[in-house]
Amino acid sequence: MTGPAPARLMAGLALGCQEPLARRYDVALLDLDGVVYVGPDAVPGVPAALAAARSAGMRLGFVTNNAARTPEEVADHLTELQVPAEPTDVITSSQAAATVVAGLLGAGARVLPIGGPGVAAALAAAGLAVVDSADDRPDAVVQGYGREVGWAQLAEAVVAVRNGARHVATNADASIPSPRGPLPGNGAMVSVVRGVTGQEPLVTGKPDPAMHAECVRRTGARSPLVVGDRLDTDIEGARRAGAASLLVFSGVTDPSTLLAAGPRHRPDLLAADCTGLLHAHPPVTAEGAAWRCGGWTVRSVEGGHGLQLAGPDGDVPAADGESDGLDGLRALCVAHWAAHPDDGAPVRVVGTGRAAADLVASWGLAAPGGS
């Protein structure tokens, strides 16, 4: 690292946001699993944070790759969690898949749904003919997440695809967050059908920009902010839709994965969870050959193959008096991404001093033998 990054890099995470996000952006396009809830329960503090964001003038839309439930069921669940929502506030990947299939094959095409009830409901709502078996010679198979999906449904999908049906996946998320840790997602099940048939599915959910674009259309957003926990769906989807993005760490992404991310998967903002909507976000500034955020400084070491983090015992309070403990990570990301503008790469990180070393270790970034 030899100095400030090119001008094209001085955006997003480096710029931060000088005012609370709920005032800067008019609509939050929120992922659900790992962002608003994990399993059946709300992420602690998130219902109150979203209520406060609404009070500040921000509107909410919900954009989920989980295809298992109908928009009505999702809205009811959100309302039970003290996040009031209407079905029209919810965009599911089943709806996206149904729209794509209807456009490709026409109304009345025969489609075999694999997944939860939300898949079949979306297909029927789009004017498609829902069938129960590969023996019905479907024109397409639409595969979405469902907790009860097992061998029998996967077998029907395989037979239908081998007989010529178009294989459409609502999303390719390999895992979903749960209170017990990551569990198999739709992508894991899709890989079974793909592996047996040898046919690549058409994937219609995030990161395809259609879902975010539909939510923008419904809400009339002029300055939307995508809020998600996945780099390959939420963050890439925001980039492809031309929207700003906020990565939260309440779901599946961890700091080491973020640091190694390639350009398509780099968010504009970071927060522990949706409470980050209520605060300003500090910039990351170049200071000679170093990068600084709050009280934390990052320098290149080991001939450019590693990073050194140094800082105080705890973050310097932000301008609004709040500190989320992520200033060091912000500085690390901007420093590493400036050195790798066109590709992702892992990096060795060493913390200088006890506070920095403890922080680096807690993020899973400590280099072997680092201190």
Note down pLDDT in tens along the chain; length 371 residues. 344 444 344 468 999 999 999 999 999 999 999 999 998 999 999 999 999 999 999 999 999 988 889 999 999 999 999 999 999 999 999 999 999 999 999 989 999 999 999 999 999 999 999 999 999 999 999 999 998 999 999 999 999 999 999 999 998 889 888 888 889 999 999 999 999 999 999 999 899 888 898 899 889 999 999 999 999 999 999 999 999 999 999 999 999 999 999 999 999 999 999 999 999 999 999 998 899 999 999 999 877 679 999 987 544 444 445 678 999 999 999 999 999 999 998 889 999 888 899 889 999 887 654 44
Domain with CATH 3.30.300 in the chain: 282-362
Closest CA to 350 of 361, 339, 340: 361
Helix pair 93-105, 210-219: axis angle to 10 deg? 110
Query: Closest Cα to residue 318, out of 271, 274, 266?
Result: 271
Alpha-carbon distance of 336 to 341, in angstroms, equals: 9
Helices (H), the chain: 21-24, 46-55, 71-80, 93-105, 117-125, 151-162, 186-197, 210-219, 236-241, 255-259, 327-339, 354-362
Q: How many other β-carbons are positioned within 10 Å of the β-carbon of residue 278?
A: 21
Tokens 């198979």, residue located: 141
- The secondary structure of 233-248 as a DSSP string is IIIHHHHHHT-EEEEE
Task: Name the CATH topology of 93-203.
Answer: Rossmann fold (3.40.50)
Which residue is it, tokens 């879902």? 211
Q: Which residues are catalytic?
A: 31, 33
Q: In the β-sheet with 27-30, what is the strand arrangement from edge to edge?
A: 90-92, 59-64, 27-30, 224-228, 244-248, 269-271
The CATH homologous superfamily of the domain defined by 17-65+207-278: HAD superfamily/HAD-like (3.40.50.1000)
3-state secondary structure of 56: coil
CATH class given for the domain over 282-362: alpha beta
Q: Range(s) for CATH 3.40.50.1000 in the chain?
A: 17-65+207-278, 93-203
